[in-house]
């Protein structure tokens, strides 16, 4: 029998391997919600491009937003594969809504989702803290960088790619990891995550 959490409010006794219907539906809903939000974020990145004309790779500092569905899905559902599923759904919804990068976002979703999964896997899917969220975001940026180089920025020299990679990892840790964790905490405080580990942890803490 798998226990959702132990005395440590961020610690599970083992990976939660059994998926429930509510987990699957929630992962899809998270992906759809962020897939819609991606359309707006694309406009933000377009409008801010002039800020990075002197050094275009610094535009990677805005990249972490793209893998928020993976971070949020992984931290809420806490099942192996949840981050990847939510990310792939988001990356699928974006081109369906006319996203400017088309179907290539599916490749991004794959690498970003895998990066966040690796961040959670390193902690054995037991710890869901700022550290695991930031590590997942950082690794997503690391994996996404070579994909974007080969797909969008083939003219960039290696130096530019390295700068872009560092910017993407910083953004992944902060804009992806910490913001994702903050969103989960905010949702937990409303009570809507009662069926999920974060909600159960909050309820258990209030009973103490």
8-state DSSP, 104: G
pLDDT recorded at residue 59: 97
Phi-psi region of 196 (alpha: psi -120 to 50; beta: other; left: phi over 0): beta
pLDDT (tens digit, 9 = 90+) per residue, 94-142? 999 998 899 999 999 999 999 999 999 999 999 999 999 999 999 999 9
pLDDT recorded at residue 14: 57
Kindly report the number of other CB atoms within 10 A of residue 1's CB atom. 4
Instruction: Note the pTM of the prediction, 2 decimals.
Output: 0.91
Predicted confidence band of residue 206 (pLDDT cuts 50, 70, 90): confident
pLDDT (tens digit, 9 = 90+) per residue, 12-44? 445 678 899 999 999 999 999 999 999 999 999
- Between CA 112 and CA 161 the distance in angstroms is 17
Predicted confidence band of residue 8 (pLDDT cuts 50, 70, 90): very low
Predicted confidence band of residue 203 (pLDDT cuts 50, 70, 90): confident
Q: Compute the half-sphere exposure of residue 12: CA atoms within 13 Å on the CB side of its CA.
A: 26
- Between CA 28 and CA 35 the distance in angstroms is 10
Mean pLDDT of the chain: 92
Q: Which residue has the tokens 């933000």?
A: 44
């Amino acid at each position: 029998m798998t226990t959702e959490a132990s005395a440590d409010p961020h610690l599970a006794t083992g990976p939660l391997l059994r998926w429930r219907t509510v987990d699957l539906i929630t992962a899809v809903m998270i992906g759809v919600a962020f897939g819609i939000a991606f359309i707006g974020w694309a406009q933000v990145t377009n409008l801010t491009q002039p800020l990075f004309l002197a050094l275009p790779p610094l535009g990677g500092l805005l990249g972490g937003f793209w893998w928020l569905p993976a971070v949020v899905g992984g931290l809420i559902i806490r099942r192996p594969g949840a981050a990847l599923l939510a990310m792939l759904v988001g990356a699928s919804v974006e081109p369906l809504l006319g996203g400017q990068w088309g179907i290539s976002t599916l490749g991004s979703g794959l690498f970003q989702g895998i990066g966040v999964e690796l961040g959670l896997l390193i902690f054995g899917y037991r710890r869901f803290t700022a550290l695991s969220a930031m590590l997942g975001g950082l690794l997503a940026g690391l994996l996404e960088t070579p994909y974007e180089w080969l797909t969008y920025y083939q003219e960039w020299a290696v130096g530019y790619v390295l700068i872009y990679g560092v910017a993407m990892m910083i953004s992944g840790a902060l804009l992806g990891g910490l913001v994702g964790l903050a969103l989960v905490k905010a949702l937990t405080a409303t009570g809507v995550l009662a069926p999920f580990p974060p909600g159960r942890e909050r309820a258990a803490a209030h009973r103490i």
